[in-house]
Structure 1
Amino acid sequence: MKRFIVGLGEALWDVLPEGKKIGGAPANFAYHAAQYGLDTLAISALGNDAFGDEIAQKFAEKNLNVMMTRVPFPTGTVQVELDAQGVPTYDIKEDVAWDNIPFTPEMEEVARNCRAVCWGSLAQRNDVSRKTIAKFLKATPKDCMKIFDINLRQNFYTEGLLLESFKQCNILKINDEELVTIGRLFGYPGLDMTNKCWLILGKYNLDALILTCGVNGSYVFTHGAMSYLETPKVNIADTVGAGDSFTGSFCAAYLSGLPISEAHRLAVETSAYVCTQNGAMPTIPQHFVERINV
């Protein structure tokens, strides 16, 4: 059995004014980690409908390994609308396929041999998928790299849900806006951004905490050390999937044994490159790939 790197959670369509695009962090994460030579798998659920068929076809065209059970719920969609200033609002449809990911024997087998897994809070908004994620994490081996990429959306999270994932992960990825929310939820008043990160790192005994701050750079905190890098200035085509490419490339570099500072730099540069391309799944230049040996 291969030791897969797994993206676990939502698979959906973002329905925008100009058309629909495949969304969902798990597939983006798995796709980018795969470009660095890792055996990856995106796990979710799709409906028995045309939207589900289209997603499956798109992933096949990208040569992405998937385990996507067909379930009697509609394939997930997010209605994206823009106001007069172009600011988007999101209506994430509920009780859809990815809310109802079943825990199958095949999935358990993957979990028992899992090398790394990345999941978020959004896919845990429904009891069925939340229990599946919990069972998957429980079945992973002790040396599994477990990345919780928070992804707070609307009101689809609770303090208890977040706390459980904090306890399960060994790497936490969070952005500056989410850090403010976490500070408010868990009662870290008066602490500046970096002190909040140090506190969370120690409190949950994490191996690393990744903090991304958009144009203001990013940090990786580890015990006794911090890496900070500025965000490269590039001509942005769109930012879709940039954060997931950061996580996927960091995971690949970390597992290959690169020092944290080098893994961080590769993640930043990969993410910046993805911003210069249209869509969430562009092909990464070969000179990036050659920087690690998995």
Structure 2
Amino acid sequence: MAKKPLVIGIGELLWDVFPDHKQMGGAPCNFAYHASKLGLDSMAISAIGNDELGVEIINKMDAVDLKYDMQRVDKDTGTVKVTLDEKGVPQYEICQPVAWDFIHMKPEYNKLANSTDAVCFGSLAQRGDVSRTTIRSFVNQVSNDALKVFDINLRQHFYSKELLEDSLMMCNVLKINDEEIKVVSEMMGLQGDDVENCQTLLKNYHLKMVALTCGTEGSYLITPAEVSFIETPMVEVADTVGAGDSFTAAMITGFLSKKSLKETHEMAVKLSAFVCTQHGAMPEYSNI
């Protein structure tokens, strides 16, 4: 039996606290969950506090059978206050400093990085010196033949032009949405439309692929050779939390499986549409 590709999500892990309930979240962990459900050997790397919320995170990850390396640090487990607008789109208020700001580079991560086939990281977990240093050390040790996915994931004020440029230089796949590409384009002085600006980033940073998601307006997968566009399916939306992370996981699964760009794109669109019909970022796949 062929060895499953190893994929790592490294960064923030937290509780999304809604007005009436809470859900475990954080883009790298959500990515790792969906990658595992799609048949990859996946792991989430982050940090939690020595508190009840940290215990609940471990219990939750065990319950969904997600592999993890969770460092215990003397900080509160991360929380985010989430409110949904009338379209079910989340707005976030992110607390700091919290446990996932203090992910340390463990010696065993060196070997893990060397055997990784795809790693997903974002900008948010790089807001603090400790986690930023660890994430960059890990990603830089992953082979350039592997996929280094920068899921840009802009939140509040936790990013800068320098951080984004440094991350783009480390990655070879960029995942970005229609709001984020406008912020990045303004920061970097790009003058085209959203797709043209994605193509400019692809060229300037020598990327293998850019994924541009535009909510209900569809999505694009852009490579040096081709562009795929697929309209967003019309579904009854429960909430959109985690939909982008599932898109990334399916996209990477297709890429590692050597599917065509269109097949890969179709997988990503189908899964993210399903996640939008479910509550929370880690729904049961038995419902698909």
Q: TM-score, normalization: structure 2?
A: 0.94
Instruction: Judge conservation of contact 1:3–1:113 (CA < 8 Å) in 2.
Output: no
Instruction: Judge conservation of contact 2:7–2:116 (CA < 8 Å) in 1.
Output: yes
Deviation string for 1:5-48 (max 9, x for gaps)?
A: 00110000111110221110111101111112110000000001
For 1:25 and 1:63, locate their aligned partners in 2 and report how far apart those are by CA, in whole Å: 17
- Match for 1:180 among 146, 171, 182? 182
Equivalent position SS for 1:258? coil
For 2:198 and 2:86, locate their aligned partners in 1 and report how far apart those are by CA, in whole Å: 36
Structure 2 counterparts to residues 1-294 of structure 1, below 5 A: 4-81=6-83, 89-189=91-191, 191-284=192-285
For 1:85 and 1:208, locate their aligned partners in 2 and report how far apart those are by CA, in whole Å: 29
- What is residue 292 of structure 1 aligned with on the other side? none
Kindly report the root-mean-square deviation, in angstroms, between the aligned alpha carbons of the 2 structures: 2.0
For 2:87 and 2:141, locate their aligned partners in 1 and report how far apart those are by CA, in whole Å: 47
Shift in CA distance, 4/200, structure 1 to aligned 2, threshold 3 Å? same
Equivalent position SS for 1:206? coil
For 1:260 and 1:85, locate their aligned partners in 2 and report how far apart those are by CA, in whole Å: 30
| Letter paired with 1:77 | T
For 1:285 and 1:53, locate their aligned partners in 2 and report how far apart those are by CA, in whole Å: 26
- Deviation, 1:283, is 2.9
| Letter paired with 1:229 | I
Deviation string for 1:108-163 (max 9, x for gaps)?
A: 22111111000100010001100000110121123221000000001000111000
Equivalent position SS for 1:237? coil
For 2:256 and 2:109, locate their aligned partners in 1 and report how far apart those are by CA, in whole Å: 22
Instruction: Judge conservation of contact 1:6–1:41 (CA < 8 Å) in 2.
Output: yes
Shift in CA distance, 194/90, structure 1 to aligned 2, threshold 3 Å? closer
For 2:43 and 2:83, locate their aligned partners in 1 and report how far apart those are by CA, in whole Å: 31
Shift in CA distance, 113/232, structure 1 to aligned 2, threshold 3 Å? same
Deviation string for 1:43-78 (max 9, x for gaps)?
A: 000001111000010000000000111011110111
For 1:8 and 1:93, locate their aligned partners in 2 and report how far apart those are by CA, in whole Å: 19
Instruction: Judge conservation of contact 1:171–1:207 (CA < 8 Å) in 2.
Output: yes
Q: TM-score, normalization: structure 1?
A: 0.92
For 1:148 and 1:271, locate their aligned partners in 2 and report how far apart those are by CA, in whole Å: 18
Equivalent position SS for 1:151? coil
Q: In the comparison of the two structures, how many residue pairs are matched?
A: 286
For 1:102 and 1:3, locate their aligned partners in 2 and report how far apart those are by CA, in whole Å: 24
Equivalent position SS for 2:285? coil
Instruction: Judge conservation of contact 2:211–2:219 (CA < 8 Å) in 1.
Output: yes
Instruction: Judge conservation of contact 1:234–1:272 (CA < 8 Å) in 2.
Output: yes
Equivalent position SS for 1:202? helix
- Deviation, 1:173, is 0.5
- Deviation, 1:285, is 5.4
For 1:248 and 1:87, locate their aligned partners in 2 and report how far apart those are by CA, in whole Å: 20
Instruction: Judge conservation of contact 1:2–1:113 (CA < 8 Å) in 2.
Output: no
Shift in CA distance, 141/214, structure 1 to aligned 2, threshold 3 Å? same
- Deviation, 1:79, is 2.0
Equivalent position SS for 2:207? coil
For 2:89 and 2:285, locate their aligned partners in 1 and report how far apart those are by CA, in whole Å: 29
